Amino acid sequence: MGMEEEILKDFLAESKENLELLDQQFVELEQDPHNMDLIKSIFRTVHTIKGTAGFFGFTTLEGIAHFAEDILSKLRDGVVTINEDIATMLLQAVDYIKAILASLEQTGKEPDDIEYLDFIVELRNFAEKIAKGASASSTKKEEKADTEDKEVKAEPLPQNNEEKVEVPKEAVKEDLSNKEEEPPKDKEPPKSEESKPSNSKAQANKKTGPPPTTPQLTETHVRVDVHLLDKLMNLAGELVLSRNRLTQIASQLSDTELLTASQRLSLAVTEIQEQIMKTRMQPVGNVFNKFPRIVRDLSRSAQKQVQLKIEGAETELDRSIIESIKDPLTHMVRNSIDHGIEPPDVRIQKGKPAAGTLIMRAYHEGGQVIIEIQDDGAGIDPEKIKKKAIEKGVITPEQAQNLGNRDALMLIFQPGFSTAEKVTNISGRGVGMDVVKTNIEKLGGTVELQSEVDQGTVVRIKIPLTLAIIPALVVRCGGQRYCIPQVNLVELVHLSPDEMEKDVQMIGNSEFYRLRGEILPLIRLNRILELPETVSDERPVTGLNIVVLNSGDRQFGLVVDGIHDSEEIVVKPLGKHLKHIPAFAGTTLMGDGRVALILDVVGLTSALSLRGEEPLKQAQLMEEQVKSGEERQFLLLFTVAPQEFFAIPLALVNRLDKIKVSEIEFVGGREVIQYRGHSIPVIRLENFLPISPLPEQEEYHLIIFHMNHQDVAFLVSQIEDSLDIVIDVDESTFKQEGILGSAIIKNKTTLFIDVYQIVQMFDPDFFDQGSEGVSGQDGAKVLLSEDSTFYRNLLSSYLISAGYNVITAEDGQRAWEIINSEPIDILVTDIEMPNMDGFELSRRVKNDPSLKHIPIIAVTSLSGEEDRKRGKDSGIDEYQVKLNRDMVLESIRNLLKTKEMAQAA
């Protein structure tokens, strides 16, 4: 029985998931009745349920699925087209199947209620009616045969209840036992309604066998109370806080054994925290997928036409939040259908489509979850709300005059407040919206409303990071510490006073910084929070510290006094006295026991004043001027020995850190360090380049790279700066392995390090470990088209190290000449190049019958949707970031394999 019960458990779990999807699919099928893929998908689901039900001997379940499958087979074969009656009957069948599955899960057996057997008869008669109607449109010969068959089958059913219970069971069993796996179109269940009624129960027992036992079935499902998960989450949060405090104490005491124990504890706590959080996460689609059926039923009841669109169903939420938002979402959907979307005739008079559109949308923004319910209905008139509010005594006429439209709309969240002219049994616009607001605020969230008369309404729920554990960047401003969710962090930039004067510009009343050719608006945190510029007990701020943040589809720079390390924090909801401040998302307890506020990145964007046309025009002009110049490079500058300067592309760097000399170990002839629970190799550049050795220091800086799924670090003396500049790399003066070239930066001769080549010199097998290698592709000829000498040398370096034969071209025109003069296997090209850009080069290759088989990869920083569309139209197969070695090589491997398979075929 063990194997059978395991199969039953899987069957129940899979069937419940599929049935939730069926509700949505049937509604979609009504709107698109000729979607054969959808029909086939529904048929397969019902067919699987029928087959498994027969395996276990669940005759009631099998009977309902059997006759539902009969109807679906007619739809699948194109004999009939779905209509409202067919959809309703099939949805009823789904409801009965759900009820039977619930009974199987709870009791281990099917319900024996007569209602289920009555429905089998009703469903069978409906299936026969469908088949008869379909046959009526066939040829005369088919019509005659069908009529004869129906006459045989149309024997009268017994009229008394006793026989009514017995006969359908027998009929179902006989039909199922004689039915083929894939029945012909016009094959009907055989005549068996009154055969051997006296032995029906005995036959049922003989056929079904012993039923699965309820206790064993229940034990196979692990059910955990949500409150227990909440408690575990709270305990994990407290554990993280204690871990942070212990780590800080261990660092201050500098005790080796204490530090080791602290590191082990930290790893265990991190693992516990991650596993607990995983158990609580569910896609919001688990809630959204119930609404197609709800919308269908409500729209029919209200005699309206409503199309539901679901976006972002894969967005994950804490399961306790998912449970809490079910009722508020249902109420908002009811409101939208009943009092938001107009009847079809009214919509047509307004010039709208007869069918209204309702959108349910979920997405992450600023480390928070946003859920929107949007309709294109009548909207809400703020003047009407003000009038009602005055009548109810909620506000005075004087207050109404000074009330903005947004604040007026928010009045609908007052208890009992409604503008509905007629309250229906579905909902009333405004009635119960106070409950929605209350339930969301219990989660520490907020509700916003936007509406425009005759255009529609959007209700937006913002759920903050409550009781979650997240990595955050700690910054200092005005003597206080603040935390920024790392999910919003793009990069960190420090500008010297000279660079501030040169690169930070005022456009209108706003500050902007030119970051790699893009105009980055700046926000000064101390001005938003009205903090003092400097504090007496702090070191004066020199230069400008910019935290580049991402908020939705825009980036901005947050100017702070200082930047500390990243730290895992436990997010707590804001107190009532701080909830009204949009700049804050929550609070947390730091390792030293002091409280810090968590910044709301989305809220901070409201401080951006970029709406004036003139500042925007100036910003666009400035951006065009920058882009007209040479390619800019964002570099990290560092020293090994004093007065010897080196540069690498900052995009290659995974992390920067410090380490004490005592923490460096010598294992297997190599230096390694214990870093975040792993041993990673440490490379001294003086061992591979003719440069001065590292001076003796108590601490060194680490430049950590993540390549080929492994970490490796350079050991350097000092991190000097990071800067965004246009440079002309001289590749002839310093020409040797490990060096790409040199340039004068800040009046210092600076060597550009070939990171990939240094790593390969350190460990020739480094890039072969854990990768697929280039088996079967050794010596494949790669044409690299890149106008920047620096990037051309860097890309060429790691392509050659991967075993490819590389030919380089300084622009698209030269690349086109090479392609026409010698055979190549794959083209890797930049986009922005002189003489001929990457789009034109790709277009020429793909338009030439003799060359169109050549795969093309674009390596570029231009990866927006518009650029990708242009690239696709030009024939580019894949886009990759220039400095992402692993992804570029993986793309080359995949495209070459695809090419080989196509040629072999």
Residue closest to 262 by CA, chosen among 674, 704, 593: 674
Query: For this structure, is 550 an active site residue?
Result: no
- Percentage helix, strand, coil for the chain under 3-state DSSP, each rounded to 5: 45, 25, 30
Active-site residue identified among 62, 66, 69, 170: 69
Q: Quote the tokens at residue 296.
A: 């269908």
Query: For this structure, is 335 an active site residue?
Result: yes
Query: For this structure, is 853 an active site residue?
Result: no
Please report, for residues 605, 612, 621, the alpha-carbon distance to residue 615 in angstroms, rounded to integers and kept in the order given.
17, 6, 10
Residue 689, helix vs strand vs coil: coil
Determine which helix (DSSP H) or strand (DSSP E) holds 118, and give its type and residue range. Answer: helix 114-136
Active-site residue identified among 18, 47, 488, 793: 47
361: β partners: 311, 372
Residue 377, helix vs strand vs coil: coil
DSSP string, 469-498: EEEEEEEEETTEEEEEEGGGEEEEEEE-HH
Determine which helix (DSSP H) or strand (DSSP E) holds 671, and give its type and residue range. Answer: strand 670-675
Provide the pairing of β-strand 805-809 with 781-785. parallel
Distance CA 762, CA 837 (A): 37
Determine which helix (DSSP H) or strand (DSSP E) holds 22, and give its type and residue range. Answer: helix 2-31
Q: Quote the tokens at residue 838.
A: 């990457």
Active-site residue identified among 244, 335, 488, 545: 335
Q: CB of 365 within 8 A of CB of 551?
A: yes
Residue closest to 721 by CA, chosen among 757, 762, 750, 679: 750
| Ordered strands of the 518-524 beta sheet | 489-495, 544-551, 554-560, 518-524, 510-515, 504-507
Residue 904, helix vs strand vs coil: helix
Distance CA 447, CA 457 (A): 13
Q: CB of 705 within 8 A of CB of 653?
A: yes
Please report, for residues 444, 687, 703, 709, the alpha-carbon distance to residue 680 in angstroms, rounded to integers and kept in the order given.
42, 17, 12, 12
Q: CB of 186 within 8 A of CB of 142?
A: yes
170 Cβ contact list (under 8 Å, min separation 6): 192, 193, 194, 195, 196, 197, 200, 203
Helix ranges, 585-705 (H):
601-604, 613-627
Q: CB of 602 within 8 A of CB of 488?
A: no
Backbone dihedral angles phi then psi of residue 108, each to the nearest 5 degrees: 85, 5
Q: CB of 728 within 8 A of CB of 743?
A: yes
Distance CA 542, CA 562 (A): 10
Q: Quote the tokens at residue 673.
A: 């360090």
Provide the pairing of β-strand 699-707 with 655-660. antiparallel
- Residues with catalytic roles: 47, 69, 335
